[in-house]
Structures are given as structure tokens and as C-alpha cells.
């Protein structure tokens, strides 16, 4: 018996039917011309979604965290400085992964639930002009906060500091403009707003970032997550063998992106905005309090504290077992008193919202 969940947590989301269907295509070898054609089209589709002309745009064979680590270890040498914006769980993870890579981490903080101030990040860069990277999470999945990354790129353009943006929850959900915002490195994941199952991490590097990677003096500490080797594997002709990529997951991403682009990226952003607002307009009436301030609120991921006196874990479990609806629990300071509700990709629909609200109303009695 297979559970059939309405996935409204922080991810995975319910994939597009096209993305699920594509999983059953016959498996192809990773050097098959048909597979290489699909990979090439995935590159084009990812460029359209990242809004970039970057040649190095490919899916890393791992989840979003693998994309994060691939960017960090490919662009950081031991002893390099990285400035990290930290206002949630995934900012903390950036610090952790960079530390393990031997980097010096300069933290720029804001409280969990509040956005980072771009001026603080730029001030930290001026104080640390030797920094190789400045890294920010565009959409903090832990708090539902949108960090404003648009002002950073133009200010960093004349410096030695590359801009790295975590777009795991942002990509395909809210506006993100890799080229216009002068983002040098960006990674995402398939199972959030792109509407495919988990397993791949789309990554894009600017020519400046590729040059930096190719000019490094020390080898990249990871073989599996070496974006230079992955460039030679996915984008060179003939490809240099690196690993046995999964045609199964590639097909599915290809199909999910196809569906998204057929709707139109701006239309998809608008849909996420509209559906997220529909939920966020309704929650206060049920006694929930939204965590992110309005100016920095993500539509695709809403974090909200529960009405006083309710046991969030018990309620969340009932939502799952009695209604087959998954939402996420709070993290960090919000553990035990908040939910994280995702309305991402194929799940960003009116139906999801009325279903969730109806079930919550029943549960609250």
C-alpha cells in the first residue's frame, strides 16, 4: 500500500505529472547520444530558469546540499575567506561546509525570521576585500524569509569577491536573475519549485567563476563534486567519463522544466505569489502568526507560529495520518511552535490551499 501525500512541507513538493511519467522511460547509458541530447536540453532549460547565458549550467548528481558543496569546494581554496550571510539553518550550513573545506568564514548575521541587510554584507566585503566569495541564501527554507540578493552583484563586480547564491527554494518560485544580478555561482534542487523528484542539484557558474576555478593552485578537495570535472563530463565533446549519471532523474528534471517553461517562468512566479498570498491572508484568521515580515516574505514557503496552547507536533502528525497532508515543523528558535508550509511547483495551487485550510479548520475544531 502506497502513501499518497499532499506534500506541503519545505520539500519535496508533489512533482508535475509529466515529471513522474518521465521516470519510467527506459534507462539509457550516460554516453548514449539520446541521453546526451537530453542533457543538452536540460542545460538550455536550466539557463532559461536561472536567466543566464552561462555555459557551465548542469545538474550535479546529488541533492541541493551537494550543489552547495560543489560550488563551495570548487571555488574556495584552503585558507580562502568567505563572507556568509546567516539568518537561518541554510546560512549556517554554508558556514559549516565552507569550514570543512578549510576556508575562513566571516559571518554576517540577522536574527532568524528577519532578512539580511545587503549593506551589512557589502560592509563585510569592504572590511575583507580578500574574500573569495560572498554567499547568501536567497530563500531561507528554515524561516520563509527572502533575502534581497539583487543589490549585491553590481557592488561586487569590481572586487575579487564572487557572489554565490543559494537558490534551492527560490529557483522557479520567486524572481531570480543570475545574469542581471551578476551572480557568479548559483545552485538549486529539483524537488522544490522546479516540480521534479529529489536527486539532482542544478548549478550554474559565470565565466568569471569558471576562470577562478580553472586558475586555482590547489586541487578541488572533492572528486565527486568537482565542477571542473563535471564541466568536462557534461559539456565537452566527447565527454570525459566522470560518474554514471542517472538518466532516470535527468528525464524527470527535463520534463518538469518543460512543463514549467510551457507555463512561462513569469507566469509561474506570479502563480507562486498569488497562491502564497492566499495562504498567508488566511492563516492569521486561524490564529497563526507569520514569522517573516511582509517585505521579506516568501510566497513559496510560509513559516508561521501556531495558536497559543496547541502542540504543533501532535497536530502535524494528525494532519499527516488523518488527512495525508505533509507540512514541516519549525527549526531552530521556532522548533516546537511553528510550521513550515510549502506551496511549491505543482503544489502551488488553489486546491492545495483550500485543502490545507479545510483540514486545519477541522483539526482546530
Q: How far is the CB of 115 from a copy of itself (least distance, A)?
A: 23
Q: Kindly tell me which residue out of 107, 208, 242, 337 binds a copy of itself, with binding defined by CB under 8 A.
A: 242
Interaction pattern, residues 326-345, with a copy of itself; x per rule: CB under 8 A? x-------------------
- Name residues whose C-beta falls within 8 Å of residue 332's C-beta, 6 or more positions apart in sequence: 88, 89, 112, 142
Nearer to a copy of itself, 182 or 252 (CB): 252
Helix (H) or strand (E) holding 132, with range, is: none
* CB closer to a copy of itself, 24 vs 294: 24
Shortest distance, position 316 Cβ to a copy of itself, whole Å: 10
Stretch that binds a copy of itself, among 29-37, 112-120, 172-180, 304-312 (CB under 8 A): 29-37
- 62 binds a copy of itself per the rule CB under 8 A: yes
Q: Which of 175, 198, 258, 287 binds a copy of itself (CB under 8 A)?
A: 198
Give the C-alpha separation, 155 to 122, whole Å.
Answer: 8
Contact call for residues 290 and 306 (beta carbons, < 8 A): no
Q: Which residues 146-175 are close enough to bind a copy of itself by CB under 8 A?
A: none
3-state secondary structure (DSSP) of residue 328 = strand
Which of 337, 339, 356 is closest to 142 using CA atoms? 339
Distance of alpha carbon 254 from alpha carbon 244, whole angstroms: 18
CA distances from 244 to 61, 64, 88, 248 (A): 9, 19, 34, 11
- By CB under 8 A, the residues from 67 to 106 that bind a copy of itself are 69, 93, 96-97, 99-102
- 194 is a site residue for a copy of itself (CB under 8 A): no
**Which residues are registered as beta bridge partners of 107?**
84
- CB of 329: closest distance to a copy of itself in angstroms? 9
Asked if 349 touches a copy of itself (CB under 8 A), the answer is no
Give the distance between the most distant pair of CA atoms in the chain: 63
294's grid cell? 511582509
Q: Which is nearer to a copy of itself, 253 or 296 (CB)?
A: 253
Please report how many Cα atoms fall inside a 13 Å half-sphere around the Cα of residue 161, on the Cβ side: 28
Task: Look up residue 266 and give its DSSP letter.
Answer: H
Applying CB under 8 A, which residues contact a copy of itself? 2-5, 7, 9, 11-12, 14-15, 20-21, 23-30, 32-34, 61-66, 69, 93, 96-97, 99-102, 189, 191, 197-199, 219-225, 242-249, 252, 320, 326
Amino acid at each position: 500500500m502506497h502513501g499518497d501525500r499532499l506534500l506541503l512541507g519545505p520539500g519535496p513538493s508533489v512533482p508535475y505529472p509529466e515529471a513522474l511519467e518521465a521516470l519510467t522511460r527506459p534507462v539509457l547509458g550516460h554516453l548514449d547520444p539520446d541521453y546526451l541530447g537530453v542533457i543538452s536540453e536540460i542545460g538550455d532549460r536550466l539557463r532559461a530558469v536561472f536567466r543566464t547565458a552561462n555555459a557551465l549550467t548542469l545538474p550535479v548528481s546529488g541533492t541541493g546540499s551537494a550543489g552547495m558543496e560543489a560550488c563551495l569546494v570548487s571555488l574556495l581554496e584552503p585558507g580562502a575567506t568567505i563572507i556568509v550571510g546567516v539568518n537561518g539553518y541554510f546560512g549556517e550550513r554554508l558556514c559549516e561546509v565552507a569550514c570543512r573545506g578549510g576556508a575562513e568564514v566571516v559571518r554576517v548575521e540577522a536574527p532568524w525570521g528577519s532578512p539580511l541587510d545587503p549593506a551589512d554584507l557589502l560592509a563585510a566585503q569592504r572590511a575583507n576585500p580578500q574574500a573569495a566569495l560572498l554567499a547568501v541564501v536567497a530563500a531561507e527554507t528554515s524561516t520563509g524569509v527572502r533575502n534581497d540578493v539583487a543589490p549585491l552583484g553590481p557592488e561586487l563586480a569590481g572586487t575579487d569577491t564572487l557572489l554565490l547564491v543559494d537558490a534551492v527554494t527560490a529557483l522557479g518560485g520567486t524572481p531570480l536573475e543570475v545574469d542581471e544580478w551578476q551572480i557568479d555561482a548559483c545552485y538549486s534542487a529539483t524537488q522544490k519549485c522546479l516540480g521534479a523528484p529529489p536527486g539532482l542539484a542544478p548549478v550554474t557558474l559565470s565565466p568569471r567563476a569558471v576562470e577562478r576555478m580553472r586558475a586555482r593552485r590547489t586541487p578541488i578537495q572533492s572528486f565527486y563534486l568537482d565542477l571542473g570535472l563535471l564541466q568536462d563530463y557534461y559539456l565537452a565533446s566527447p565527454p570525459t567519463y566522470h560518474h554514471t549519471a542517472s538518466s532516470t532523474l535527468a528525464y524527470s528534471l527535463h520534463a518538469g522544466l518543460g512543463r514549467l517553461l510551457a507555463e512561462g517562468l513569469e507566469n509561474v512566479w506570479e502563480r507562486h505569489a498569488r497562491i502564497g498570498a492566499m495562504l498567508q491572508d488566511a492563516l492569521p484568521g486561524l490564529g497563526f502568526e507569520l514569522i517573516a515580515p511582509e517585505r521579506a516574505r516568501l510566497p513559496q514557503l510560509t513559516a508561521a507560529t501556531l495558536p497559543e496552547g496547541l502542540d504543533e507536533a501532535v497536530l502535524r502528525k494528525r494532519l499527516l495520518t488523518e488527512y495525508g497532508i505533509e507540512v514541516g515543523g519549525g527549526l531552530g528558535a521556532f522548533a516546537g511552535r511553528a510550521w513550515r508550509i510549502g506551496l511549491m511547483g505543482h503544489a502551488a495551487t488553489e486546491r492545495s490551499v483550500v485543502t490545507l485550510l479545510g483540514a486545519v479548520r477541522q483539526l482546530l475544531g
